[in-house]
Amino acid sequence: MPDRPLRLLILGAHPDDAEFHAGGLAAIYRRLGHVVKMVSVTSGDAGHHVLGGPELAARRRLEAAAAGEVIGAEYITWDNHDGVLLPTLDVRYQIIREIRRFEPDLVLTHRTNDYHPDHRAVGHAVRDASYMVTVPNVLPEVPILRKDPVVAYMADRFTKPCPLQPDVLIDASDHLETVVEMLSCHVSQMFEWLPYNQQIEDKVPRGHDERRAWLRQWFLAHRAGPMTERFRPQLIERFGPDRGRRIVYAEAYELSEYAAPLNDSAQKHLFPTGA
């Protein structure tokens, strides 16, 4: 591996997907001095029960940028509409351009079996772009990469038709508070839309500190905790009984066969843990 900062690109479907699914690894990268860029392939302009369209997109763009600032990472949102994304050639080209220009060592994205059609569309588009980033006659105006980056899928809870099979597990426990802080920047989502959608809006406190404490509890109960327990046997095998049982926040990743392979040495380099 080259002796230079690593470059991590997270391609999510919506503003907040990157930190919700991979915030721990992003925080580890930044603590180690590596470069992180988070991209929302859609503008998020459908994700609310009161607002919508350009007004919501502008608000979510600011929320995403603020979340990136928590760890010192660039966070951008594209202009594709939320809720109607398809893995079209145009979206594939957008992703090829981004990967070529950013030159990542590691790309993280959604699986193609995730619950949201936008998530599935991004996963398909990244898969279809993976090899094409090396082909000179595809988008010849953008310099090619001489080799694919490593691509990995972020974990979700869905098991049909195929559950995630984790190739990599990281201990993100030390970064739980940072991830909660990043998520708390998405006020329109964490304290408005998602509680409304889940019919728990009456549970959301009003004060900033109270809201953050509530969000931490919610994230542990509905994301970090269940995901960690799901992979507890593998965590014990990976980290040993003592540490494996103490982990409260783990992230799991499945490697894509459509991009660069990953040997044990490269895996330890690209997926540092406990930093």
pLDDT of the residue at 265:
85
**pTM across the whole model:** 0.96
Q: 21 and 155 in contact (C-beta within 8 Å)?
A: yes
Q: What gap in Å lies between CA 50 and CA 47, rounded to an integer?
A: 9
Q: Is 62 exposed, middle or buried (0-12, 13-18, 19+ CB in 10 A)?
A: middle
Q: Which amino acid is at 77?
A: T
Q: What gap in Å lies between CA 72 and CA 146, rounded to an integer?
A: 28
Q: For residue 215, what are the contacts with CB-CB under 8 A and spacing of at least 6? A: 180, 183, 184, 190, 191
Domains and CATH numbers, the chain: 7-270 (3.40.50.10320)
Q: For residue 141, what are the contacts with CB-CB under 8 A and spacing of at least 6? A: none
pLDDT of the residue at 264:
85
Among the listed residues 254, 258, 262, the one whose alpha carbon sits nearest the alpha carbon of residue 165: 254
Reading the chain (275 residues) residue by residue, the pLDDT tens digits are 457 899 999 999 999 999 999 999 999 999 999 999 999 999 999 999 999 999 999 999 999 999 999 999 999 999 999 999 999 999 999 999 999 999 999 999 999 988 899 999 999 999 999 999 999 999 999 999 999 999 999 999 988 888 999 999 999 999 999 999 999 999 999 999 999 999 999 999 999 999 999 999 999 999 999 999 999 999 999 999 999 999 999 999 999 999 999 888 889 899 997 54
